[in-house]
């Protein structure tokens, strides 16, 4: 009994210490101005317009970025978040290049709304470069040349002309692309209509609705699913432990090999050549 009472006292003592420490951290965070917020809604902390831009370079940590169409010829940048975070952002224009960068990180306990960056782009040929850690990127307009890299944030784009997109654990979704090089470590890659595509994926699945010129797709353990293929140049698809399923809308010569999977194809002697390989997955192309 004495041992049980002693254990209860020790447990209560540790609990009290934890509660006091937590209260201290909250008080310190609120009063120190380190971006620590509690039950706080975001407000607009930056709003400015720029003209004559040739490129935009975004380098942020946790903020989501959304790209929308501008109703004039200017590029509008709007940042929302906590007032305590306004000094963490640097927006600078030099020689037609706009740089938006974020330093440090924010901590939020409670029911808080995340901040975001909204960029309004006019219908101009502006090169867009993007780098983020945990923030996502969404665009509902047509983009030209892009170079996008995220760690864990998702990427969702309406349309691009020529671009490179990579993500570690986030998903990549593109509706329309003329030329695209996409890579993901553990996220899925989903594309609608693409002309020229290069894809590298380690453990995520790849799904493309339509490819019309050529493709070079490689996955380590994910499946490859092409709903409509009408290529004009030699192409290939390779999966080590995933299945490959392709619907052909144009005659091609298929060179298919697998070690332990099944092969079900409709072959012709017509160029171009489609090379399909799997290690332990099934191949279907017809």
Please, which residues bridge with residue 109 across strands? 38
Average pLDDT for 281-285: 97
137 vs 155: CA distance, rounded Å: 5
pLDDT digits (tens, 9 = 90+) for 106-140: 544 444 456 899 999 998 899 999 999 989 999 99
pTM of the model: 0.83
pLDDT digits (tens, 9 = 90+) for 46-77: 999 999 999 999 999 889 999 999 999 999 99
Residue carrying structure tokens 């706080």? 40
């Amino acid at each position: 009994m004495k041992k049980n009472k002693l254990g209860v006292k020790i447990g209560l003592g540790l609990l009290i210490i934890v509660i006091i420490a937590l209260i201290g951290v909250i008080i310190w965070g609120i009063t120190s101005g380190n971006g620590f917020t509690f039950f706080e809604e975001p407000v607009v902390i930056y709003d400015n317009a720029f003209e004559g831009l040739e490129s935009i370079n975004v380098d942020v940590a946790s903020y989501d970025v959304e790209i929308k169409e501008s109703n004039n010829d200017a590029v509008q940048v709007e940042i929302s978040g906590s007032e305590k975070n306004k000094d963490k952002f640097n927006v600078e224009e030099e020689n037609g290049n706009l740089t938006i960068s974020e330093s440090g990180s924010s901590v939020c306990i409670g029911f808080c709304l995340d901040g975001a960056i909204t960029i309004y782009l006019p219908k101009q040929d502006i090169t867009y470069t993007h780098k983020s850690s945990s923030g996502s990127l969404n665009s509902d307009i047509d983009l030209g040349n892009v170079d996008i890299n995220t760690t864990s944030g998702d990427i969702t784009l309406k349309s691009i002309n020529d671009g490179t997109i990579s993500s570690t654990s986030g998903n990549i979704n593109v509706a329309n692309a003329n030329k695209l090089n996409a890579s993901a470590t553990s996220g899925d890659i989903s594309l609608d209509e693409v002309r020229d595509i290069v894809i590298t994926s380690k453990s995520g699945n790849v799904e493309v609705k339509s490819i019309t010129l050529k493709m070079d797709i490689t996955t380590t353990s994910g499946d490859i699913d092409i709903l409509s293929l009408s290529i004009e140049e030699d192409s290939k698809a390779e999966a080590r432990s995933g299945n490959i399923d392709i619907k052909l809308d144009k005659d091609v010569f298929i060179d298919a090999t697998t070690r332990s999977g099944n092969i079900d194809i409709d072959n012709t002697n017509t160029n171009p050549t489609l090379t399909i390989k799997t290690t332990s997955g099934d191949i279907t192309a017809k």
